[in-house]
């Protein structure tokens, strides 16, 4: 497929050290409140990551409400035998979504407050994954690892000339160098949930 690199400089380093989202906000009040809304199993099959609505202290993250707490989607981990279910970053307050395991099960990619991060199942210090989304880019989402774990494929939505969100196109990113390539032929039709072929060529 023909491709173009979007305008503006590509990130020189795709994955950069950053403060954990948990360290950027005060500690919350936590109590599980609903069933999982998304589930992903690790490759070895001994862990399951899932998104669960969790009650958090309202610090302007709940929208137009004065309630002291509200339900926020958060990333949880549980053993495949049902043991040790826990929120991976319990001090965080923002919405977490769109998680994906690396092929070897060692890294977990997830979105926190509209930013991509990489961590592991122990909840080690998250690292920011900078996809270089800048205007007219609206958001990059629904990412998936290539089979060798070196690249991501994801959906990119942008604003059109009238200020409306376009249908979305597919983009790829080299994790080592940070190069983002937008597959321009996919932009008109849009798409959802892109994934790699097993050999990583398509």
pLDDT at 64: 63
Query: Would you place residue 90 in the very low, low, confident or very high pLDDT band (cuts 50, 70, 90)?
Result: very high
Task: Provide the CA 148 distance to its chain's centre, in angstroms.
Answer: 19
- pLDDT tens for 23-76 read 443 333 334 446 677 787 776 678 999 999 999 987 777 766 677 888 999 999
Say if residue 114's pLDDT is above 50: yes
Query: Would you place residue 125 in the very low, low, confident or very high pLDDT band (cuts 50, 70, 90)?
Result: very high
pLDDT at 111: 96
DSSP structural state of residue 24: G
Provide the 3-class DSSP secondary structure of residue 23.
Answer: helix
CA distances, 26 to each of 20, 30, 83, 94 (Å)? 12, 12, 28, 11
Residue 90, token pair as written in the block = 């319990």
Peptide bond connecting 47 to the previous residue in cis, omega within 30 degrees of 0: no
pLDDT at 15: 53
pLDDT at 27: 37
Residue 133, token pair as written in the block = 């989304």
Mapping DSSP onto H, E and C, the string for 43-79 reads CCCCEEEEEEEEEEECCCCCCCCCCCEEEEEEEEEEE
Residue 170, token pair as written in the block = 């597919």
Residue 92, token pair as written in the block = 């965080």
How large is the average pLDDT for residues 74-92? 94
**How many CB atoms are located within 10 Å of the residue 14 CB?**
24
pLDDT at 37: 72
- pLDDT tens for 133-173 read 998 999 999 999 999 999 999 999 988 888 888 778 999 99
Tell me the pTM.
Answer: 0.76
Query: Would you place residue 11 in the very low, low, confident or very high pLDDT band (cuts 50, 70, 90)?
Result: very low
Q: Tell me the C-alpha distance between 58 and 68, whole Å.
A: 5
Half-sphere exposure (Cβ direction) of 131: Cα atoms closer than 13 Å: 29
């Amino acid at each position: 497929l023909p491709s173009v690199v979007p305008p503006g400089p590509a990130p020189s380093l795709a994955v950069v050290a950053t403060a954990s989202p948990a360290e950027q906000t005060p500690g919350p009040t936590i109590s599980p409140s609903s069933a999982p809304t998304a589930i992903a199993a690790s490759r070895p099959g001994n862990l399951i990551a899932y998104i669960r609505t969790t009650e958090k202290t309202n610090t302007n993250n709940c929208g137009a409400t004065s309630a002291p707490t509200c339900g926020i989607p958060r990333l949880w981990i549980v053993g495949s035998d049902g043991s040790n279910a826990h929120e991976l970053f319990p001090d965080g307050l923002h919405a977490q979504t769109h998680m994906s395991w690396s092929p070897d099960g060692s890294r977990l990619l997830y979105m926190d407050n509209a930013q991509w991060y990489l961590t592991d199942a122990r909840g080690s210090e998250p690292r920011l994954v900078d996809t270089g989304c800048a205007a007219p880019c609206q958001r990059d989402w629904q990412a998936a690892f290539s089979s060798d774990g070196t690249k991501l494929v994801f959906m990119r939505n942008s604003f059109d000339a009238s200020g409306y969100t376009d249908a979305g196109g597919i983009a790829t990113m080299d994790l080592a160098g940070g190069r983002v390539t937008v597959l321009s032929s996919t932009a008109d039709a849009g798409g959802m949930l892109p994934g790699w072929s097993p050999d990583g060529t398509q």
